[in-house]
C-alpha cells in the first residue's frame, strides 16, 4: 500500500519536461513500520535511476523484516538488491556492469530458512540490429544454502525488442537465458516470449503469442548417515526442473458496426521432474525420481452486440480440457516389483478434467440516471481419475446470477441495488464418497445509498442480507454430519462532515448480525446453534493546519457477542470488547516527502479473562529524489 501511494504521489507531481527530468521524478525511497498486537513489520525500499555524464545508473533495494513476539522471538529478514551501471562507447554499443544480492534469514527453521545469493556481471549492450538489443553478460555467483557455500561461473544473455513492424505486423521478442555452474549444483533460467499482432481494419485484429520457460534449481537437503558414508558428502542434492510451452491466439472480428466476435485458443504443456542426486546403492527400495506432465487446451467464442448507447449484450462459450499424469523414472538398481509399487502410488494422482462454461451479460441504460446490468453463467466441471485406487471422481455444477441497478433520484441522492444467487452442486461418482454430495446455495441482497446534500456532508449507507444453505444430498437422522444454514444482516455507515475548509469529522460504523444452525432442507426447518453480534465504530476529528499537514484524533470501538441456544433461548457465551483512542498525522512538506503516522491504543476485555492492553502503530515515510 505504501509503495502504491508513493507511486501515485509521484505521478501527480510529474510535470511535462525532458526525459531526464521525467526519469528522475520516478526516484523514490520509502520505509514502512507496522506494529499490530505482537507482530512487528519493517519494509524499506529505494528506487533510483539517473544519468551522470556518460554513465547511466539504476538501483533497486528492498528490505523486509518481521518479528513475532511469542514464547520465543520469531524473526524473518529478507533483503534484495539490484544495481547496474552503463557507459556508452559508441551509438550502438555500451559497456554494462551489474550486481545483484539476495539474503534470507529465518529462525523458525522451516525448510531452507537461511540462504543468500550474490552475483556480479560485466558485458555489453549492442543496439546494432533494427529495434533489437543484445546484452551478453559474464560473471561470478556466490551462493550460501543451509551453510553450504558454492561459487562459480554465471552466464546471462538478454534479448530485448521494441515494436518491430513487418508488412503491417507488429512483433515483439523478449528472451532471457541464464546458466549458473556452481559445482556441484547447476541453475538454469530460460524464458522466451514472442508476440505477433495484426490490425486488419476497425476492431478486427489478431494476436499470436508463443512463450517458452525452462527452469532448473538444485537444492541442498539433509543426507542420512548411509548417504554420507557411501558418497562422502554431508548433504544430498535435489533437482527440480520445469519445461513449459504456451501457444495462444486471439482473433477479434467486426461483424458490422454493432457486433464484435472474439475467438481465443490456448495450448499449454508442462513437464516437471524431481530428482535426487545421491541414492542408496544397497537399500532394497531406493527413492525414485518422479515426473509430472500436464497438458491443457482452452478455447472460447464470444459475441458482443451493441444497439446504440442504450443496450449492450454479450454471449460467451468456453471449453477447457486438462490432463495431468504422474510417473516414476526408471532406476537400474530398483527391482521391478518396487518400481511397479511406486508407479502405482504416483499413478493414483493422475487426473483428467473437462470444464464447459456458458455466460451472458446484458447492460441496459434506460436513461443517464437509471442503468441496469444482468449477468448469468453456468459452469460444469467433470473431474476423472483413471486409477481405481482414487475415488475422487466428481462433477461440479455452478449457476451464478447477478442483477445490479443504479438510480440517480436527484442531484443529491444515488441508489444502487445488487442481487446475487450462487448455486453449486457437487456430486462424487463413487458410492464410497456419495455421502459428501452437497448443494451450496448463496443468496444476497445489497442496497446502497449515497447522499450528498452539500459539499460539506457526504454519507454512504450499505445494507446487506445474505443467506447460505449447505445441504447434503443424503441426510440421515443418525448422521454426525448435518446440513447447515448461515444467515447474516450487515449495515455500514460512512459519513463525512466538513465544519470548515480545514476541520472535518469522519464516522464509520459496521454492524454484523449472523446466525448458524443445523438445517433440514426438505422441511426447511432449522435448529439454531449459535448467534453473533459484531459492532465496529470509528469516529475521528480531522484538522488540516496547512495544505501539507493534517492531524486527526478519535476513538475506535469493537465488540463481539457470541450466544448459544438452549431450545429457542439465547445464552451469552462470551463477550469481547476492544476500545481505545486513535490518532494520525499526514505530512507532505514541499511535495517531495510524504510522512504518515497512525496509532491506536486498545484495551481488550474478554469474558473469563483479565483485561489486556495493546499499542499499535503504522508509520510510513517516502521521499522523491
Cβ atoms within 10 Å, residue 64: 16
CA-based diameter of the chain, in Å? Answer: 87
- Interval 546-596: pLDDT, tens: 988 999 999 999 999 999 999 888 999 999 999 999 999 999 887 788 999
Determine which of 128-132, 188-192, 247-251, 612-616 has the lowest per-residue pLDDT on average: 128-132
165-169, 320-324, 373-377: lowest mean pLDDT where? 165-169
Does 6 score more than 90 pLDDT? no
Question: In 3D, which of 304, 301, 320 has the Cα closest to residue 312?
Answer: 304
Residue 21 pLDDT > 50: no
pLDDT digits (tens, 9 = 90+) for 56-107: 999 999 999 999 988 888 899 999 999 999 999 888 899 999 999 999 998 8
Q: What is residue 625's predicted lDDT score, i.e. its pLDDT?
A: 77
Which range among 73-77, 211-215, 323-327 shows the weakest confidence by mean pLDDT?
A: 73-77
Please give the pLDDT value at position 458.
Answer: 96
Cross-strand partners of 167: none
Model confidence band, residue 4 (pLDDT cutoffs 50, 70, 90):
very low
What pLDDT sits at residue 362?
Answer: 96
From the list 451, 341, 434, the residue with the least C-alpha distance to 393 is 434
Distance CA 440, CA 397 (A): 10
Task: Calculate the average pLDDT of the chain.
Answer: 89
pLDDT at 477: 52
- Rounded to the nearest 10 degrees, how much is the dihedral formed by the CA atoms of 451, 453, 454, 459? -30
Backbone angles phi, psi at 33, to 5 degrees: -125, 135
Does the structure show a pLDDT above 90 at 334? no
Nearest 5°: the CA angle 606, 611, 616 is 100
Where do the structural domains in the chain lie, given as residue ranges?
Answer: 482-625
| Secondary structure E strands in 329-436 | 351-367, 370-384, 394-408, 413-428
Question: For the stretch 424-447, what's the b/e string if a residue is b when 16 or more beta carbons lie within 10 angstroms of its beta carbon?
Answer: bbbbbbeeeeeeebbbebbbbebe
Q: What is the DSSP string of 155-204?
A: EEEEEEE--EEETTEEEEEEEEEEEEEETTEEEEEEEEEEEEEEEEETTE
Reply yes or no on whether the pLDDT at 296 is more than 50. Answer: yes
Quickly state the pLDDT bin for 229 (edges 50, 70, 90): confident
Instruction: Indicate the DSSP class of residue 286.
Output: P
Q: What is the pLDDT of residue 286?
A: 64
Cell 478519535 locates to 554
Q: Is the pLDDT of residue 18 over 50?
A: no
Which band of pLDDT confidence, cut at 50, 70 and 90, is reported for residue 300? very high
Please count the other Cβ atoms lying within 10 Å of the Cβ belonging to residue 45: 19
* Contact indicator for 400, 424 with CB cutoff of 8 Å: no
How many Cβ atoms from other residues are within 10 Å of residue 227's Cβ?
A: 21
CB atoms within 10 A of CB 90: 8
Name the more confident of 3 and 622: 622
* pLDDT for the residue 109: 67
- Give the C-alpha separation, 241 to 190, whole Å: 11
Whole-number pLDDT of residue 257:
83
**Separation between Cα atoms, residue 446 and residue 405, nearest integer Å:** 11
What is the pLDDT, as a whole number, of residue 476?
A: 63
Number of neighbouring beta carbons within 10 Å of residue 137: 21
Output the pLDDT for position 10: 36
What are the cell numbers at 30? 520509502
Contact of 410 with 437, CB cutoff 8 Å:
no
Answer yes or no: is pLDDT of 230 > 80. yes
Between residues 143 and 132, which one has the greater pLDDT? 143
pLDDT of residue 19: 37
Beta bridge partners of 426: 396, 438
- State residue 229 phi and psi, 5-degree precision: -75, -40
Does position 12 have pLDDT exceeding 60, yes or no?
Answer: no
Q: What is the pLDDT of residues 415-464, one digit of tens each?
A: 999 999 999 999 999 888 888 899 999 999 999 999 999 999 999 999 99
Q: Is the pLDDT of residue 342 over 60?
A: yes
More confident residue, 8 or 154: 154
Amino acid at each position: 500500500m505504501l509503495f502504491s501511494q508513493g507511486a501515485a504521489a509521484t505521478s501527480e507531481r510529474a510535470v511535462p519536461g525532458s526525459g531526464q527530468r521525467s526519469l528522475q521524478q520516478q526516484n523514490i525511497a520509502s520505509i514502512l513500520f507496522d506494529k499490530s498486537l505482537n507482530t512487528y513489520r519493517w519494509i524499506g525500499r529505494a528506487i533510483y535511476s539517473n544519468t551522470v555524464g556518460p554513465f547511466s545508473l539504476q538501483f533497486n533495494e528492498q528490505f523486509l523484516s518481521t518479528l513475532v513476539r511469542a514464547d520465543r522471538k520469531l524473526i524473518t529478514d529478507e533483503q534484495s538488491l539490484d544495481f547496474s551501471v552503463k557507459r556508452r562507447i559508441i551509438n550502438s554499443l555500451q559497456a554494462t556492469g551489474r550486481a545483484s544480492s539476495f539474503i534470507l534469514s529465518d529462525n523458525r527453521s522451516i525448510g531452507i530458512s537461511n540462504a543468500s545469493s550474490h552475483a556480479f556481471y560485466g558485458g555489453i549492450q549492442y543496439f546494432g540490429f533494427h529495434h533489437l538489443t543484445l546484452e551478453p553478460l559474464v560473471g561470478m555467483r556466490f551462493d550460501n544454502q543451509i551453510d553450504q557455500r558454492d561459487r562459480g561461473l554465471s552466464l546471462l544473455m538478454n534479448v530485448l525488442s521494441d515494436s518491430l513492424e513487418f508488412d503491417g505486423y507488429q512483433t515483439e521478442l523478449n528472451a532471457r537465458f541464464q546458466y549458473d555452474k556452481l559445482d556441484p549444483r547447476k541453475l538454469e533460467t530460460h524464458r522466451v516470449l514472442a508476440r505477433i499482432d495484426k490490425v486488419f481494419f476497425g476492431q478486427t485484429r489478431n494476436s499470436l503469442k508463443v512463450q517458452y520457460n525452462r527452469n532448473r534449481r538444485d537444492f541442498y537437503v539433509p543426507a542420512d548417515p548411509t548417504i554420507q558414508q557411501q558418497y562422502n558428502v554431508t548433504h544430498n542434492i535435489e533437482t527440480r526442473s520445469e519445461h513449459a510451452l504456451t501457444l495462444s491466439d486471439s482473433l477479434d472480428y467486426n461483424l458490422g458496426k454493432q457486433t464484435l466476435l472474439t475467438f481465443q485458443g490456448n495450448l499449454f504443456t508442462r513437464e516437471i521432474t524431481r530428482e535426487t542426486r545421491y541414492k542408496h546403492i544397497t537399500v532394497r527400495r531406493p527413492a525414485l525420481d518422479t515426473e509430472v506432465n500436464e497438458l491443457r487446451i482452452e478455447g472460447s467464442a464470444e459475441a458482443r452486440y451493441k444497439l446504440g448507447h442504450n443496450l449492450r449484450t454479450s454471449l460467451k462459450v468456453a471449453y477447457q480440457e486438462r490432463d495431468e499424469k504422474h510417473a516414476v523414472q526408471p532406476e537400474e538398481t530398483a527391482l521391478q516389483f518396487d518400481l511397479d509399487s511406486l508407479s502405482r502410488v504416483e499413478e493414483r494422482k493422475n487426473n483428467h478434467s473437462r470444464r464447459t462454461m456458458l455466460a451472458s451479460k446484458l447492460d441496459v441504460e434506460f436513461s443517464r440516471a437509471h442503468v441496469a446490468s444482468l449477468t448469468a453463467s453456468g459452469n460444469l466441471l467433470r473431474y476423472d481419475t483413471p486409477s481405481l485406487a482414487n475415488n475422487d471422481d466428481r462433477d461440479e455444477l455452478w449457476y451464478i446470477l447477478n442483477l445490479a441497478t443504479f438510480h440517480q433520484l436527484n442531484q443529491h441522492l444515488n441508489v444502487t441495488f445488487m442481487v446475487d444467487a450462487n448455486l453449486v452442486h457437487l456430486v462424487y461418482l463413487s458410492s464410497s464418497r456419495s455421502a459428501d454430495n452437497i448443494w451450496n446455495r448463496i443468496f444476497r441482497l445489497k442496497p446502497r445509498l449515497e447522499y450528498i446534500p452539500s459539499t460539506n456532508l457526504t454519507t454512504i449507507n450499505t445494507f446487506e442480507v445474505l443467506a447460505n444453505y449447505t445441504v447434503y444430498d443424503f441426510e440421515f437422522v443418525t448422521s454426525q454430519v448435518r446440513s447447515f444454514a448461515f444467515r447474516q444482516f450487515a449495515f455500514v455507515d460512512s459519513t463525512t462532515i466538513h465544519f470548515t475548509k480545514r476541520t472535518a469529522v469522519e464516522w464509520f460504523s459496521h454492524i454484523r448480525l449472523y446466525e448458524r444452525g443445523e438445517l433440514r432442507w426438505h422441511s426447511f426447518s432449522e435448529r439454531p446453534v449459535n448467534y453473533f453480534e459484531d459492532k465496529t465504530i470509528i469516529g475521528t476529528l480531522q484538522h488540516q493546519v496547512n495544505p501539507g499537514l493534517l492531524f486527526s484524533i478519535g476513538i475506535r470501538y469493537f465488540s463481539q457477542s457470541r450466544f448459544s441456544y438452549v431450545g429457542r433461548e439465547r445464552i451469552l457465551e462470551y463477550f469481547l470488547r476492544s476500545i481505545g483512542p486513535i490518532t494520525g498525522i499526514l505530512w507532505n512538506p514541499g511535495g517531495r516527502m510524504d510522512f504518515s503516522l497512525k496509532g491506536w491504543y486498545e484495551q481488550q476485555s474478554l469474558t473469563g479473562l483479565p483485561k489486556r492492553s495493546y499499542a499499535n502503530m503504522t508509520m510510513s515515510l517516502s521521499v522523491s529524489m
